[in-house]
Amino acid sequence: TESADTRTDITTVTQHILEQQRAHKGSTGDLSLLLTAIASACKWVSNVVRKAELLKVVGVAGTTNVQAEQQQKLDVLSNEIMINLLRGSGRTCLLVSEEDEDALFVSGDERGSYCVCFDPLDGSSNIDCGVAVGTIFGIYAVKDIANPTLKDVLRPGSEMIAAGYCMYGSSTVLVYTTQGCPVNGYTLDPNLGEFLLTHRNIQIGHKNIYSINEGNCATFDKAITTYLHDIRYPPKEGAPAGWKPYTARYVGSMVADMHRTLLYGGIFLYPGAKLRILYECFPMAFLVEHAGGAATDGRTRMLDIVPSQIHARSRIYLGTKAEVERIEQLYAELM
Ligand code: AHM
Ligand code: MG
């Protein structure tokens, strides 16, 4: 069989971005450049994550971030990498990072027309034990390039024009979509240093898997305890033939838990309003909807929510349509 090293019919992420750009008549190419810059940043972050233990860069940096959690050196590094490449693309005017309390306004020659909200290294509590972490991003177009304001990102998630994540797991996988387009995934070939198209048009899978931190069960809403009971125990009136309880899987890194949910199916639940709307909930909701799934806070479609401030948090339930509709139904009945 032909080895991947000798095949030349493989599509790189840059090629694919340009191909999609050509399909959009009147496109300026600005978004393509921005997405290419994000792909470069993710390669760079992947490189530092993979070397972290060896370089002994893992550790507490001595500062705390805006969420008052322990900030580790890799968070700081990843944030700097993202900011440098986003600014350097010349296509951004407003950057919102989980690591920075205030939004960063890009000025001068570097200013462009996009606003990017991102978590440079999500799941960083997993770094020291080598478990998957990731970068998450959501992109908006600024309304008035001469005057970017926070209102450009304090908008419903449905107004994003692109969103995605990069997972630094057993392989490095970049997954993104643009408004109305398929979700595609690209795996980093470490030898070529290129992201190659490996997952075309991702549609959410059909397996019955649920993903939640059950340690917090004392605080769960009645809708969620009822849902969890229903997927674990056979119905009282008798289980239909072939009934099986759902499988539990929880990494504790949203990117890894969402990547699995997209590929295999099921539902990811975080009832405790811990996750940040702009750079955790919205991008994942945008992706899951584009992959044929759904996302809600129990009462409202996630992408219809308007965040009140840049680090605002929400409950979130996202996965296949059937599971998300069941949760919404339970909220309507019980809450
Ligand atoms: P972080 O941004 O501080 O890394 O926190 C976000 C992470 C998500 O990746 C993950 O889904 C969640 O926190 C896990 O939280 P918990 O440890 O409470 O289960
Ligand atoms: Mg995070």
pLDDT of residue 13: 96
Q: Give the residues surrounding ligand 1 with Cβ less than 6 Å away.
A: 69, 98, 119, 122-125, 213, 252-254, 257, 274
Flag whether pLDDT at 55 surpasses 70: no
Lowest mean pLDDT among 3-12, 112-121, 129-138, 300-309: 3-12
Ligand 2 centroid to 253 CA: how many Å? 8
Tell me which of 59 and 94 has the higher pLDDT.
Answer: 94
pLDDT at 267: 98
pLDDT at 66 over 70: no
**pLDDT for the residue 73:** 83
Count of alpha carbons within 13 angstroms of residue 177, beta-carbon side = 25
Q: Which ligand is nearest to the CA of 69?
A: 1
Looking at residue 56, what is its pLDDT? 56
Which pLDDT belongs to residue 70?
A: 47
Residue type at position 36: T
Mean pLDDT, the chain, whole residue set: 93
Query: What is the pLDDT at residue 52?
Result: 79
d(CA 250, CA 271): 14
* Euclidean distance between CA atoms 33 and 225, whole angstroms: 45
- Tokens coding 95: 């950057």
185 sits in which H/E element? strand 184-189
Burial call 43-60: b when 16+ CB within 10 Å, e when fewer: bbbbbbbeebeeeebbee
Atom of ligand 1 nearest to the CA of 215: 19
Given this model, what pLDDT does residue 333 score?
Answer: 97
- Taking only the tens place, the pLDDT of each residue in 159-185 is 999 999 999 999 999 999 999 999 999
- Alpha-carbon distance 83 to 106, whole Å? 10
Which amino acid, 73?
K
Rg for the chain, CA atoms, rounded: 20
Q: Looking at residue 125, what is its pLDDT?
A: 85
Q: What is the pTM of this model?
A: 0.94
Contact between 167 and 123 (Cβ < 8 Å): no
Confidence of residue 57 (pLDDT cuts 50, 70, 90): low
* CA pair distance 260, 250, nearest whole angstrom: 10
User: What type of residue sits at position 256?
Assistant: A
Q: Which amino acid is at 321?
A: K
Q: Calculate how far, in angstroms, residue 16's C-alpha sits from the geometric centre of ligand 2.
A: 28
What's the gap in Å between 218 CA and the centre of ligand 2? Answer: 23
Which residue shows structure tokens 């969620």? Answer: 224
The mean pLDDT value for 42-57 works out to 84
Mean local confidence (pLDDT), 211-227 = 97
For the chain, the farthest-separated pair of C-alpha atoms sits apart, in whole angstroms, at: 68
Ligand 2 centroid to 133 CA: how many Å? 9
Q: Nearest residue CA, atom 14 of ligand 1?
A: 252
Which atom of ligand 1 lies closest to the CA of 213? 19
Burial of 97 (0-12, 13-18, 19+ CB in 10 A): buried
CA distances from 201 to 121, 173, 229, 317 (A): 25, 14, 33, 22
